[in-house]
Amino acid sequence: MRLSVTGALLLLSFYMCFSAVHSCFIISEVNCDNPSLDTREFVELFSLSGSSTSLDGYTLVFYNGNGNVAYRVVDLSGHSTDERGFFLIGSAELKPSPAIQLPPNSVQNGPDAIALYGPSWVPVAENGNISAIGLLDAVVYTSRRATGTADMLSRVLTPGSFPYVEDDQFLEGDESIQRCWLSDNYYSFQNAEPTPGRPNICPPSNPEHLWINRIQLSGGTLTGPVEISIGTERGAMTVVVYNVQTDTVKTSVGFQASEPGNVSLNLDTTALSDLDGWALAVYQGKVEDFQKGSPLSQLQPLDAFVCSGLTNAPSAVLTETLIPGRKAFKFDSSFSEVDAYVTRCGTAHWARDPGVFQHQIQRPSESSHCNWFNTCPYSTAVNTTDEPFEPWSGINGDFLISEVNTDSPGSAEDEEFVELWHPSGRRTSLNGIWVLLINGNNGKIYREIELHGYYTDNHGYFLIGSEKLKPQIALPANTIQNGPDAIAIYRSTSPPSTENVIVPRNGLLDGMVYRSRSSDRDWADLIKALTPGQLPLLEDSTSLQGDESLSRCGLKRFNLNSFRVTSPTPMKDNDCPRPPKEIVINEVGGILRANVYVELIGPPLASLHGLVIVLYELSTARHVVPLEGSLGNDGYYVMGNKSVADQDLPAVTSLGAVWLCYGLPTVCSSESKVQDLVVLSNNSSLSPFLHGVTYQVVHPVASFDSVSRCAMNQSASWTASQPTPRHPNLCPSSAHSVHMDLCLQAESDSHITCTAEGFAELLERSCQCGISAAHLTGVNLTCISESLYAEGPVFTLSNQQRELVAQTLQKNHTHSCSVVRERLYTKESSLGLQVGLVLMVVLLCALGGAIFFYLYKKKRPQDYYSMELNEHDSPVDL
Note the pLDDT tens digit of each residue in 671-710: 778 899 999 888 877 877 777 777 878 877 777 888 999 8
The b-or-e profile of 411-450 (16+ CB within 10 A means b, else e) is: eebbbbbbbbbbbbbbbbbbbbbbbbbbbbeeeebbbbbb
Q: What's the confidence (pLDDT) of residue 30? A: 92
Of 585, 631, 582, nearest to 609 (Cα)?
631
Q: Which one-letter DSSP state was computed for residue 876?
A: P
Could you tell me the sign of the dihedral formed by the alpha carbons of 741, 745, 750, 752, in that order? positive
Give residue limits of the domains in the chain.
6-192, 210-361, 400-566, 584-721, 733-816
- Judged by average pLDDT, the poorest of 171-175, 561-565, 772-776 is 171-175
Alpha carbons 861 and 648: distance in angstroms, whole number: 100
Long-range contacts (CB closer than 8 Å, 24 or more residues apart) made by 554-557? 554/609, 554/610, 554/626, 555/394, 555/395, 555/400, 555/423, 555/612, 555/624, 555/626, 555/664, 555/667, 556/626, 557/396, 557/400, 557/509, 557/510
Alpha carbons 480 and 405: distance in angstroms, whole number: 8
User: CA 622, 625, 627: angle at the middle one, nearest 5?
Assistant: 155
With 90 as the cut, is the pLDDT of residue 68 above it?
A: no
69 and 127 Cβ atoms separated by less than 8 Å: yes
With 90 as the cut, is the pLDDT of residue 775 above it?
A: no
| Strand-pair partners of 580 | none
464 and 471 Cβ atoms separated by less than 8 Å: yes
CB-based contacts of 515, cutoff 8 Å, min separation 6: 440, 482, 483, 484, 485, 523, 536, 537, 538
Note the pLDDT tens digit of each residue in 294-305: 999 888 898 999
Alpha carbons 162 and 146: distance in angstroms, whole number: 15
CB-based contacts of 810, cutoff 8 Å, min separation 6: none
SS3 category, 499 = helix
Q: What Cα–Cα distance (Å) separates residue 768 from each residue in 197, 762, 782?
A: 66, 10, 24
Q: Confidence band (pLDDT; 50, 70, 90) for 833?
A: low
SS3 category, 396 = coil
657 and 677 Cβ atoms separated by less than 8 Å: yes
224 and 269 Cβ atoms separated by less than 8 Å: yes
Q: What's the confidence (pLDDT) of residue 270? A: 78
With 60 as the cut, is the pLDDT of residue 824 above it?
A: no
Of 703, 696, 699, nearest to 680 (Cα)?
699
Q: What Cα–Cα distance (Å) separates residue 568 from each residue in 19, 404, 537?
A: 48, 8, 16
Q: Confidence band (pLDDT; 50, 70, 90) for 342?
A: confident
Q: Confidence band (pLDDT; 50, 70, 90) for 143?
A: confident
- Judged by average pLDDT, the poorest of 93-97, 598-602, 815-819 is 815-819
User: CA 608, 610, 612: angle at the middle one, nearest 5?
Assistant: 80
Percent of the chain with pLDDT over 70: 82
Q: Confidence band (pLDDT; 50, 70, 90) for 10?
A: very low
φ/ψ bin of 511: left (φ > 0), alpha (ψ from -120 to 50), beta (otherwise): beta
403 and 564 Cβ atoms separated by less than 8 Å: no
667 and 673 Cβ atoms separated by less than 8 Å: yes
Note the pLDDT tens digit of each residue in 102-115: 988 888 887 899 99
Q: What's the confidence (pLDDT) of residue 587? A: 95
Maximum average pLDDT range among 489-498, 604-613, 667-676, 787-796:
604-613
Alpha carbons 814 and 743: distance in angstroms, whole number: 7
- Overall fold of domain 6-192: Immunoglobulin-like (2.60.40)
Alpha carbons 287 and 228: distance in angstroms, whole number: 16
Q: What Cα–Cα distance (Å) separates residue 648 from each residue in 114, 637, 726?
A: 42, 11, 16
Could you tell me the sign of the dihedral formed by the alpha carbons of 792, 797, 803, 805, in that order? negative
Beta strands 100-102; 86-91: pairing state: parallel
With 90 as the cut, is the pLDDT of residue 72 above it?
A: yes
Alpha carbons 306 and 310: distance in angstroms, whole number: 13
Q: What's the confidence (pLDDT) of residue 845? A: 80
Q: Please give the average per-residue pLDDT across 77-85, as a whole number.
A: 92
Q: What's the confidence (pLDDT) of residue 374? A: 60
Q: What's the confidence (pLDDT) of residue 769? A: 80
Q: What Cα–Cα distance (Å) separates residue 249 from each residue in 215, 287, 323, 326, 409?
A: 18, 11, 16, 21, 33
User: CA 415, 421, 422: angle at the middle one, nearest 5?
Assistant: 165
With 80 as the cut, is the pLDDT of residue 714 above it?
A: no
Per the model's pLDDT, the better-predicted residue between 723 and 601 turns out to be 601
pTM: 0.64
Report helix angle 799-809 to 756-767, nearest 10: 90
CB-based contacts of 162, cutoff 8 Å, min separation 6: 154, 429
**End-to-end CA, the chain:** 160
With 80 as the cut, is the pLDDT of residue 493 above it?
A: no
CB-based contacts of 522, cutoff 8 Å, min separation 6: 440, 441, 484
Alpha carbons 775 and 796: distance in angstroms, whole number: 6
